Amino acid sequence: MKYSQATDYALHAMLYLVASATPEKPVGVQLLAEKLGVSQTYLSKLMTKLVKAGLIQSAPGANGGYRLRKNQEDISFLNVIHAIEGIASLFECSINHGEECLIQKVVLDAERQMEQQLESKKLVELVKLFKTE
């Protein structure tokens, strides 16, 4: 399984926002794009998805940009992944056994475990780790 490059960029952008954005001083998309080495246009599209997911909000104007909408302590890797990738299952049984499919049960159980792990990992933990090193 593989997450898209968009998810990689979104996670890095969110990590930067958790580390540096404040309600008084949002981070501009141009600065974010420069820090990440990503096209400003492409990053704007990703940021729009994060806004729609309720993770961040955009602030218009010359000094506008993006700031966190949720408490930074609550933002998990899974929140960002779902905002970009959606919440569809990674596996679907092609033979259409439905819920009786033993293969689907095993794979869905593994997905649930992975999602629990990603939900338990908060972006702020990385920021705290980085600041202590």
**Contact partners, residue 77, CB within 8 Å, separation at least 6:** 11, 118, 119, 121, 122, 123
* 5-132 has CATH 2.30.42.10 classification: no
The per-residue pLDDT for range 77-127, each reduced to its tens digit, is 999 999 999 998 888 888 877 678 888 889 999 999 999 999 999 999 988
Domains of the chain, residue spans: 5-132
The per-residue pLDDT for range 29-68, each reduced to its tens digit, is 999 999 999 999 999 999 999 999 999 999 888 778 999 9
pLDDT number for residue 132:
54
